[in-house]
Chains A and B, each alone.
Chain A
Amino acid sequence: KAGVTQTPRYLIKTRGQQVTLSCSPISGHRSVSWYQQTPGQGLQFLFEYFSETQRNKGNFPGRFSGRQFSNSRSEMNVSTLELGDSALYLCASGTGGPYGYTFGSGTRLTVV
């Protein structure tokens, strides 16, 4: 079956702008999690959505938000972009338990 699809793969934005990233999970998976990966901070959990509800949230400012649609697709939004938001954003898809998830290839966001 198809894997986790993240779009776009690469994105360049200017400080102060906002951006929306998309994640389509594996068919049948109801949980989508988002992670930020940077050289300095490593892999950090942003939030998890399960059946359209945010179930878990990491320690990120309110500029980072997300949502999940009825077909389990998820979007992540970052408003008022800062240079430090430059990162690889990874989406992970799963059935909802703590049993290991399938990751997408990520969206590389560069803020200039």
Chain B
Amino acid sequence: AQSVTQLDSQVPVFEEAPVELRCNYSSSVSVYLFWYVQYPNQGLQLLLKYLSGSTLVESINGFEAEFNKSQTSFHLRKPSVHISDTAEYFCAVSVETSGSRLTFGEGTQLTVNP
């Protein structure tokens, strides 16, 4: 079975500061990794994903994440955050044999203050 640990439940930062949201996973087989974002009273939106190839993946709104197999991590980073980035962020993992089943971390609430 797979598991995901998001190391920080809440991350407060000031606007234009850099941020890192940490995610570690556990799995005995190869994984696919995802970051989803959830705004209040909404569903989950896919931010970025690692399936194969380059270990550094980027989103269209400035976030990036790096797959580190040796450290079993997939941390999410942004060099300069905006107020509008305030949301809950979920790291998730899937494996080839589990179909569409995603295993999620507990979530990290990112709050960007002016």
Contact = CB atoms under 8 A, between A and B. Distances in A.
Q: Do A and B bind each other?
A: yes
Given A99-B49, A100-B32, A100-B34, A45 B101 contact: yes
Nearest to A42: B106
A98 B95 contact: yes
Nearest to A57: B101
Contacts of A68: none
Interface string B26-56: 0000001010100001111110010100000
Given A42-B104, A42-B106, A43-B104, A96 B99 contact: yes
Nearest to B36: A103
Interface residues of A, number: 28
Given A42-B107, A43-B90, A101 B100 contact: yes
A87 interface: no
B87 interface: no
B43 A106 contact: yes
Contacts of B13: none
Interface stretch (A14-22, A48-56, A75-83): A48-56
Contact of A45 (B43, B95, B102): B102
Interface in A45-96: 45, 48, 50, 55-56, 58, 90, 92, 94, 96
Contacts of A28: none
Contact of A90 (B44, B51, B107): B44
A37 to B, nearest CB: 9
B61 interface: no
Given A42-B107, A43-B90, A101 B43 contact: no
Given A43-B90, A98-B95, 19 more contacts: A4-B43, A33-B100, A33-B101, A33-B102, A42-B104, A43-B92, A48-B100, A55-B99, A56-B100, A92-B44, A94-B100, A96-B99, A97-B100, A98-B32, A98-B98, A99-B32, A100-B94, A103-B43, A108-B41
